[in-house]
Amino acid sequence: MELVWNDTSQVSCLCQKPCISSRLIRDGDHLRKVIRYIRRNPVKAHLGEDEYSLWESELAKAVK
């Protein structure tokens, strides 16, 4: 997170730097990459199948 200061040196807002959650999906290829990224998150965190729930739409389920 980053603080944004106004001209009077007071905090005017609190903003997050851009990340994957703040981007728009650009095209079909980008959507497939995002779906795969989300699927891999629990694996990268070493979570067991009983430690998380993954809901996927029919469109997402079709992505290999």
Using the predicted structure, report yes or no on whether residue 6 has a pLDDT greater than 80.
no
Tokens of 43: 């694996």
User: Among 60, 61, 62, which residue's Cα sits nearest to residue 25?
Assistant: 60
Residue 1 has pLDDT above 70, yes or no: no
Reported as type and span, the H/E element at residue 15 is: strand 11-15
pLDDT of residue 24: 83
- Of 33, 41, 36, 1, residue with least CA distance to 17: 1
In order of 19, 23, 24, 26, the CA distances from 2 in angstroms are 13, 18, 21, 26
Q: Please tell me the predicted confidence (pLDDT) of residue 57.
A: 92
* Interval 18-54: pLDDT, tens: 555 557 888 899 999 999 999 999 999 999 999 999 8
Residue 7 pLDDT exceeds 80? no
